């Protein structure tokens, strides 16, 4: 692996699945962040014999500063807006601006969900152990928003599961969810891709393939 921690996302997913095996009998559901989290999540869902779905998060950038997150929108039965009140207050961002931008991002979420999971059943989250999965964490803002949104569906537990993340980010996230499972927490954290030998850009086709294979596997399990 040329000194990297993981060969590729599938390798990371299989290794992460081993650490999550204790959740197999706790009604698990894997929710992966597209696109990079989906191949990781697929391996976990296959190993735990549980459903795989996507959870999509769209950032709401501040006016004139689109890279500065004022809030984030998370999809679900009841879409959730997670606010960054520090940025909102600091910049005096209006509720009207947030309302309009939230509507735009919800429309984009629906467009992407139609591409990825059109015609596929959505697993019930209430009472489940929800494993929120990505291929790694940098600042944690996106997966934090996803976890907050998922919590509104009343799962039994919300667990963030990732192959690699900075130690301080993991420590912060532990106070916001029931559990964080992270395989590696290197002190000298760089870009997530630095820890993979193969970190190719995941295509929409790869996401769709993983989701449909997982759905077919679930049908076979239920029929047997």
pLDDT digits (tens, 9 = 90+) for 75-118: 876 777 888 888 899 999 999 999 999 999 999 898 888 999 88
Cβ neighbors of 96 (< 8 A, separation 6 or more) are none
Last residue of a domain, one of 68, 95, 116: 116
Tokens standing for residue 44: 């976990």
**pLDDT bracket for residue 220 (50, 70, 90):** confident
The answer to whether residue 4 is domain-embedded is: no
Q: Which of 92, 116, 140 is the last residue of a domain?
A: 116
Q: Both 168 and 64 in a single domain?
A: no
Specify whether 186 is located in the same domain as 136. Answer: yes
pLDDT bracket for residue 222 (50, 70, 90): confident
- CA–CA separation, 216 and 214 (whole Å): 5
More confident residue, 80 or 205: 205
Give the domain extent around 112: 58-116
Final residue of a structural domain among 116, 138, 162: 116
Give the pTM: 0.88
Report whether pLDDT(160) > 60. Answer: yes
Asked if residue 13 has pLDDT above 80, the reply is yes
- Same domain for 49 and 135? yes
Percent of the residues in the chain that have a pLDDT greater than 70, as a whole number: 98
Same domain, residue pair 133 and 90: no
Same domain, 219 and 131: yes
- CA dihedral of 74, 35, 19, 29, whole degrees rounded to 10: 50
CATH of the domain at 14: 3.40.50.2020
Domain shared by 147 and 94, yes or no: no
- Specify whether 79 is located in the same domain as 148: no
Domains of the chain: total: 2
The pLDDT assigned to 3 comes to 54
Residue 138 has phi, psi (to 5 degrees) of -105, -85
Residue 1 has pLDDT above 80, yes or no: no
Give the residue from 146, 132, 125, 138 showing the smallest Cα distance to 180.
132
In this predicted structure, what is the pLDDT of residue 187?
A: 86
Phi, psi at 27, each rounded to 5°: 55, 60
Across 56-70, average pLDDT: 87
Residue 141 has pLDDT above 90, yes or no: no
Position 212 in a domain = yes
* Residue 2, in any domain of the structure: no
Provide the CATH number for the domain around residue 63: 3.30.1310
In a domain, 15, yes or no: yes
Query: How does pLDDT run across 39-54, given as a tens digit for each residue?
Result: 999 999 999 999 999 9
pLDDT over 90, % of the chain: 68
Q: Are residues 201 and 165 in the same domain?
A: yes
Q: Same domain, yes or no, for 161 and 217? A: yes
Cβ-based neighbours of 174, under 8 Å, separated by 6 or more: 180
Residues 202 and 176 in one domain: yes
Q: Taking all residues of the chain, what is their mean pLDDT, rounded to a whole number?
A: 92
Residue 67 lies in a domain: yes
Q: Are residue 95 and residue 206 in the same domain, yes or no?
A: no
Give the list of residues 6+ apart from residue 223 with CB closer than 8 angstroms, or none: none
Kindly indicate the confidence band of residue 26, based on its pLDDT and cuts at 50, 70 and 90: very high
Digit-coded pLDDT (tens) for 172-192:
999 999 999 999 999 888 789
Q: What pLDDT is attached to residue 77?
A: 66
Beta-carbon-side half-sphere exposure of residue 46 (alpha carbons within 13 Å): 18
Residue tagged 């969810």 (tokens)? 177
Tell me if 143 is assigned to some domain.
Answer: yes
Q: Are residues 111 and 172 in the same domain?
A: no
Q: Of the given ranges (108-112, 149-153, 169-173, 219-223), which has the lowest mean pLDDT? A: 219-223
Is 140 among the domain residues? yes
Overall average pLDDT of the 134-155 stretch: 89
Q: Report if residue 3 sits inside a domain.
A: no
């Amino acid at each position: 692996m040329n000194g990297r921690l993981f060969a590729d996302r599938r390798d990371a997913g299989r290794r992460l699945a081993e650490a999550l095996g204790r959740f197999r009998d706790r009604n698990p559901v894997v929710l992966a962040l597209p696109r990079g989290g989906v191949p990781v999540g697929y391996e976990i869902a296959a190993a735990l014999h549980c459903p795989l779905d996507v959870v999509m998060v769209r950032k709401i950038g501040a006016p004139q500063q689109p890279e500065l997150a004022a809030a984030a929108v998370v999809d679900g039965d009841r879409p959730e807006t997670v606010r960054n009140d520090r940025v909102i207050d600091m910049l005096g961002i209006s509720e009207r601006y947030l309302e309009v931008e939230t509507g735009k991002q919800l429309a984009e979420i629906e467009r992407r969900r139609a591409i990825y999971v059109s015609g596929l059943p959505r697993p019930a989250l209430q009472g489940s152990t929800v494993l929120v999965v990505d291929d790694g964490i940098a600042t944690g803002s996106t997966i934090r928003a996803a976890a907050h949104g998922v919590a509104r569906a009343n799962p039994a537990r919300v667990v963030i599961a990732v192959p690699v993340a900075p130690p301080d980010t993991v420590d912060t996230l532990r106070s916001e969810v029931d559990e964080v499972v992270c395989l590696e927490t290197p002190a000298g954290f760089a870009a997530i891709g630095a820890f993979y030998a193969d970190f190719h850009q995941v295509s929409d086709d790869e996401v769709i393939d993983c989701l449909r294979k997982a759905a077919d596997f679930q049908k076979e399990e239920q029929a047997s």
